[in-house]
Structure formats: structure tokens, C-alpha cells
Structure 1
Amino acid sequence: MIHLSLIGIGTGNPDHVTRQGMAAMNAADLILVPLKGEDKADLAGLRLQICRACVTNPATRIETFDLPVRDPATPDYVTRVNDWHDAIAARWEAAIRAHLELGGGPRVALLVWGDPSLYDSTLRIAGRVGLRLPLTLEVIPGITAIQMLCAAHAIPLNDLAAPVTITTGRALRMDGWPDGATTIVVMLDAGGAFRVLDPAELTIWWGAYVGMAEQILRAGPLAQVQDDILATRATARAAHGWIMDIYLIRKT
């Protein structure tokens, strides 16, 4: 039986890894670190940096593996992502089997940005692997980008007695402002989905690399700061080769 730990590691700062997360990393026989292409080399580097800061067990092996890319020829988004997850699960399975064939122990860990429960597909991929290998699954919660954004701007997530809608840039572009929402949090935006909104009476709090040394923050009335956010985002992406950003918008 293989014990698989999915460990939430926050937004890239080693200080965000909990003591529970550190214990799980050091209990692992193998930590798998995905490589997502040259433009995401820094992301693998961050995971390896976190391993160097947190792993003290000399018996824990740390190995990288190449992730497949989505097939752009598949027109349907859900089908394209499901096919991609199938391919990732196959890579996980191959890496775990190779480890076991070399006599490695049964405890395997993967490090997950933020928390495995929030707009992350690691749990769905683990379910696919569990159909092929005998798994017990452990989830270690982590600090989310939403928490870090609110902390960085020193704002509450919700307005008084009001709900919060968490959505994606793709959904915002397709459907516009969610019905009945007063506060929305937008994740996984390729850039500028807020352009579809009427900016009147909307305030935005935006952050990139939140919680990291490279953190960038912008806030203000959407009509006044949206151009600055887009320009800042483009500059940061060009400088680092990748960007992780998130924003909260509230009706005021």
C-alpha cells in the first residue's frame, strides 16, 4: 500500500509551510517535484528551495519529473483538461513505480501550491492514480493565496454579513459579474478578465507573488487602477518568466 501525502505549501514562501507539512515532508521516502517547461523553471526551483529549507531527513529522496502539456487542438475546455489530468496521472504512476522498483519506501509526497482543496486539481489526479495503484491518501492543508492577498492588503475577505464568490478569470470572461455577489475573488486569470466588468462602484485589491519577496500589490477604484495592474503584470511576467496573481473586487 502506497501512502500519498499532498502537502499544501502556501504561495512559495518556505515560512508558510506548517509544522504538519514539514513533518509529512520528512516522513516521505520520495518527494516528487514536477517540471512544467523552461518558462516555469522558477516554480520547480521554489519547490526545491522549500525542500532544502524543510527536509532534514537524509533518507528522503527528492526527484523531478516532466509534466505533459495540454493539447491545444482539443476544442472543448473540460475535455482538454480531463485528458491532461489523465496524462499527468500516468506520469505520477510511472514515477512512483520506478521508485518502488528501485527498492524505495511506500511513502510518497507532492507539494501543492496554496491548499489542495482550492482551485487545484491535485486531488482529482490522485483519484486517477488510485485506480491504478493501491493508495492511502493524506491531505495537509496549506495557506491559500486568498489568505495571503487579504493579509497583504490588510482587508477582510467578506463585507459585513455578506457572502463571497470565488471564481476564475475564464468564468468571469464568460459570465460576467456573478448574480447576487457583493465580493468576488478571481483566481487563475490569464490577465485582465476584469476588463469585462463595468468598473463603476467597483474597488479592486490585486496581488502578484503574494507572500513572497517579489510581492507586488495594487489597490483602488477599478476604473483608475486597471491599466496600471495590466502594465505591472506584463512587466513582472516578462521579468520572471511566470506570474501567479489573484485579486478581490468589491462593490462599494
Structure 2
Amino acid sequence: MSSEIRHLLVIGIGAGDPDHLTLAAVKALRRADVFFVLGKGSEKDSLTRLRRDILDEHVGTGCRVVEADDPWRDRSQDAFAGYADAVHDWRRRRADVCEQLIRDELAPGRCGAFLVWGDPSLYDSTIAILEDIRRREQVAFEYEVIPGISSVSALAARHRINLNRVGRSVHITPGRRLSESLPNDDGDIVVMLDAHESFRHLAGSGIWIYWGAYIGTPDEILVSGPLDEVSDRIRRVRAEARAEHGWIMDTYLLRLHPDGAEG
């Protein structure tokens, strides 16, 4: 058996727009011998197609792609009870799949790549999963991370706003913990992974919302304004989009405007 080490690239490919790829990401794509793609079922086929479009454009149609099914994740838990256990169980089973891909589909001395939506360091499991596999010591490899444009950065750009205001902080939280993050008089709040539309509980707060779904894709939806005025609209278009596509990924910024006029 060869003693050469396997090498992996974790490449951030942006929030959905193929033009979000950085030059570093394009160079990394061209280094890889094989690309690993975990499919998320027929309802999210568009995400796999976007990855393949990126590879066709920047690597060529003859590149080697190995697909595997992403393990099922229990999403029946409510916003708090059992959530962490469900995520840890899913990550363990996902690590099993990735370990097999690396062992069986990547020869020693060769380079493989995982294409990660947004930025690999922000609300993504790939880095943690690779660390889990390394701790198992069943397959040896090294890896590097290439940053990407996150949905948070893309959201701010599409709404033409700054994420932060002078001298103030920005807090990033999953939707299930939004209530713990309020009030946040020192800064603004970015909310991700909010399947339960937690913003609906903030009526009368004077908060503005900058909301976006499918950011950077042809299906992009943007809504902004005082939360009391646009909350129902967001909930309506969100439900319509989810029904049409079978899934939704959205992100939003909450900002308290003292005079109610900034935006």
C-alpha cells in the first residue's frame, strides 16, 4: 500500500451564484482529481445541478464526480428538545459516508474535493465531519479550507446594506435561539436556519428586517422593511416558495432603527 497521503479540499462555492466563486476557489477546483457530492434527494436536485454547472464551467465536463446519498436527518424534534442529539447523530452517519468515499474513491497521493455552499466556516458541518474521521484513524488524509462568500455576505450585498453599524456588534444565531439574543441594543442580529419563522414573535418591536431566500440563484426572493409591515408578506412568499420548490434556504438581518427611518 502506498504511503502517500491523501489530500482533501473543502471549497466554499458561494451562496448560489456561480460568479460567487473566488479565484482561489477556481484554482482549487482545478487541483482536484475527484469531487464528492452528497445528494439531498429529488427535491433538492437543483443544488446538485448547480454544483455540476460550476464544475463544467471551471474544470470541464470530463471531471470525475462521485455522488452519495446524504443520510436522513430527524427533523421531527421541536426547536429545542433533542435538537443537538439529532444533529450529532446525523453528523456521525454523514461521517461514515464521507469516510467510505475517501477510502474507496480517493487513492493515496491524490486530491479530492468537497464543494460547500457559502463559506465552510459558517453553519456548515464539513470541517467537523472531517475532524471526526481523522480522529477515527481509519484513513489518513490532510485537508485545507478555501473560504467562500456566505449567504450572510450575499444578503447584505443584495440589500445594499452594511452588516455592522459604527461601533456596534453583529450577532449571528440560529432561529431557534433568537429569543435568547433579544434585546440586542448594542448591535444587530443575523438569523440563519429559521424553519419556525421566529421573527413572527417580534411584533411591535420597531425592528426592521432584511430577508432573503435562495440568495444568488435565479429563484432569489428579497423583502425588507419594518417587521410589522412585511412579516405577513415574508410568511406568505416563504410558504409559496417552499411549496413550489420543496425546500427553502433563507437568511435575514434584524436591525433596530431608533428613529424608524433608516433603511
Matched ranges for 1:17-36 at <5 A: 17-36=21-40
SS in 1 for 2:30: helix
CA distance in structure 1 between the aligned counterparts of 2:100 and 2:122, rounded to whole angstroms: 26
In the other structure, the counterpart of 1:200 is: 205
Amino acid at match of 1:88: R
Matched, 1:67 2:67: no
Sort the Cα spacing of 1:10 and 1:199 in 2 relative to 1 into closer, same or farther, 3 A.
farther
Sort the Cα spacing of 1:14 and 1:42 in 2 relative to 1 into closer, same or farther, 3 A.
same
TM-score by length of 1: 0.92
In the other structure, the counterpart of 2:260 is: none
In the other structure, the counterpart of 1:144 is: 150
In the other structure, the counterpart of 1:211 is: 216
Gaps of 5+ in 2: 258-263
Matched ranges for 1:90-239 at <5 A: 90-100=96-106, 106-131=110-135, 132-173=138-179, 175=180, 177=182, 179-239=184-244
CA-based RMSD of the aligned residues comes to 1.9
Moved over 6 A (4+): none
> More displaced, 185-194 or 84-93?
185-194
Residues 70-115 of structure 1: CA deviation (Å, up to 9, x unaligned)? 2458862212111111100110111122214xx5862110001100
Gaps of 5+ in 1: none
Q: Name which of 5, 11, 18 aligns with 1:14.
A: 18
Amino acid at match of 2:44: K
CA distance in structure 2 between the aligned counterparts of 1:199 and 1:21, rounded to whole angstroms: 44
> More displaced, 183-192 or 37-46?
37-46
**C-alpha contact 1:177 1:197 (8 A) present in aligned 2:** no
SS in 1 for 2:112: strand
CA distance in structure 2 between the aligned counterparts of 1:209 and 1:52, rounded to whole angstroms: 22
Amino acid at match of 1:63: V
Percent of matched pairs sharing the same residue: 44
> More displaced, 191-200 or 220-229?
191-200
In the other structure, the counterpart of 2:47 is: 43
CA distance in structure 2 between the aligned counterparts of 1:15 and 1:80, rounded to whole angstroms: 34
CA distance in structure 2 between the aligned counterparts of 1:17 and 1:228, rounded to whole angstroms: 32
